[in-house]
Amino acid sequence: MQLNDLRCLSRVYCLTLASSLFWSVMVLNCIGQFIRLEGDLVWVVFFVVFALFALHGFIFSVPSLRNIFDGEVIEEKHYNLRWALIETVFLSGILAIAFVPFMMGFDFFNGVSYWVVASFLFVSFLGSLCYLSFFQRSFRSRR
């Protein structure tokens, strides 16, 4: 292994681990809005979610990130539409749950149910992420 490969892999792995840490905290925050987690259960749930995110990142994100850092085009074998759709739905759900308390702070939403606001935000985030990811040509990589 050359020094350049080692440097590139260290950046990619650190980026994947940092991203996994961030999304694990977000998921733990979202779970905490529905279920009261206390004591060691918080750490168990956190490490399980972190391990799942890190494993997913190492399998799917590292090869494509390594190509991006090398200045190459992402190879076709690293594209997976099913995982992209799952990630888009998951990200929309996390963002909707995270933004509901902020939206409920406005007087406009006083009489509105939590689930109506959450559903509206989920559909809004899902629609915008799908549009930007799959339908907008200028945001996709050129081949």
Q: State the Cα angle at 67 between 64 and 69, rounded to 5°.
A: 110
Q: Which of 60, 78, 96 is the C-terminal boundary of a domain?
A: 78
Q: How far apart are the first and last CA of the chain?
A: 28
Domain shared by 74 and 89, yes or no:
no
Lowest mean pLDDT among 60-69, 85-94, 115-124: 60-69
Q: What is the mean pLDDT of residues 54-82?
A: 66
Residues near 3 by beta carbon (within 8 Å), at least 6 away in sequence: none
**Do 88 and 48 fall into the same domain?**
no
User: Quick check: 49 and 27 in contact, CB under 8 A?
Assistant: yes
Residue 126 contacts residue 92 (beta carbons within 8 Å): yes
Residues 106 and 130 in one domain: yes
Q: How many domains does the chain have?
A: 2
Residue 27 has pLDDT above 80, yes or no: yes
> Is residue 69 located within the same domain as residue 97?
no
Residue 37: CA count within 13 A, CB half-sphere? 15
Do 48 and 104 share a domain, yes or no?
no
Distance CA 27, CA 5 (A): 32
* Residue 64 shares a structural domain with residue 94: no
Range ranked top by mean pLDDT from 48-57, 61-70, 128-137: 48-57
Fill in the amino acid letter for 47.
F
pLDDT number for residue 65: 64
CB atoms within 10 A of CB 139: 10
Block residue for tokens 């292994």: 1
**For residue 70, pLDDT beyond 70:** no
pLDDT score, position 5: 62
Say yes or no: 48 and 1 in one domain. Answer: yes
Distance CA 123, CA 90 (A): 12
Residues 9 and 26 placed together within one structural domain of the fold:
yes
Confidence of residue 96 (pLDDT cuts 50, 70, 90): confident
Model pTM score: 0.59
Same domain, 10 and 62: yes
Is there a single domain that holds both residue 7 and residue 62? yes
- The domain in which residue 105 lies consists of 80-143
